[in-house]
Amino acid sequence: MSVILGPGRAKITGTSVAPLSSGSNPIPATTQGMYDVLNDANVTLTVAAANATNPRIDAVYVGVQDSFYSGSTNQAIPGIVTGVAAATPVAPAVPSNAVLIAYIAVAANASSIGQSNISDARTFAFLRTSNPGNSLLSFPSTQMPSSYAPIIQVGYVAGKTSAGGVLYGTFPQAFPNFCGPVFIQLGNNSNGSGYPTLIEASSTTTGFGTFWPSTGSTNVHFWYLAIGG
């Protein structure tokens, strides 16, 4: 049996060194630091044979080996921790210097693994800022469902608004599932004067609309950042 780990990126915090401490108060950081990992192709991982009687839960992970701290190898490695078969199985922990990717429910006497047996266990990082005046704003988690990996697109729109002040922007590539917030960085219009008020209208997986109140048939241009999944 096997599963496929697809392309992606991960940030892995080193755990070979114990957290720093100040007196009796631990500090959640180590001198080992963090690793940036890139997987640029599908990787096939072997799942151990199922138990004949009881189910189990396996854990898929991506880890790093750093010879400065242990061993003689420097590499990023994906792997699977095989759980213990039991009537009520418990998910195993991943190794040190690794991040959890997914859980695999291995049924008793199973001969194959399907998508329904795999549970996404990744932890995603989001762009946030506490300053609402910035072009990147915080947004509710409901706009970014945790079941999708975040995708960011940055682009440039230039054109003339309609008579009613509407201008549409099209993403270079459609988001596969949904589009969340779209943030816009204003510049100047074609005659060099500052922009009037801009209102971002509804967005779809393929693009978004902007509304420029009381500014019909006017040349405008701006950068945008869209977050979806």
Q: Return residue ranges of the chain for CATH 2.60.40.2080.
A: 141-228
Q: Which residues pair with 96 in a beta bridge?
A: none
Instruction: Kindly report the pTM of this predicted structure.
Output: 0.54
The gap from C-alpha 25 to its chain's centroid, in whole angstroms, comes to 32
184-206 burial code (b ≥16 CB/10 A, e <16): beeeebeeeeebeebeeeebeee
pLDDT attached to residue 96: 86
Residue 160: half-sphere exposure toward Cβ, Cα within 13 Å: 6
Residues 6+ apart with CB under 8 A from 189: 195, 218, 219, 220, 221
Q: Where are the alpha helices (DSSP H) in 64-186?
A: none
- Under CATH, which architecture does the 141-228 domain have? Sandwich (2.60)
How does residue 202 score in pLDDT terms, banded at 50, 70 and 90? low
**Confidence at 161, pLDDT banded by 50, 70, 90:** confident
pLDDT tens by residue, 17-56: 665 555 555 555 566 778 888 888 899 999 999 999 999 9
Judge whether 58 and 47 are in contact, CB under 8 Å. Answer: yes
Each residue of 97-142: pLDDT tens digit? 898 999 999 999 999 999 889 988 887 654 443 333 333 333 344 4
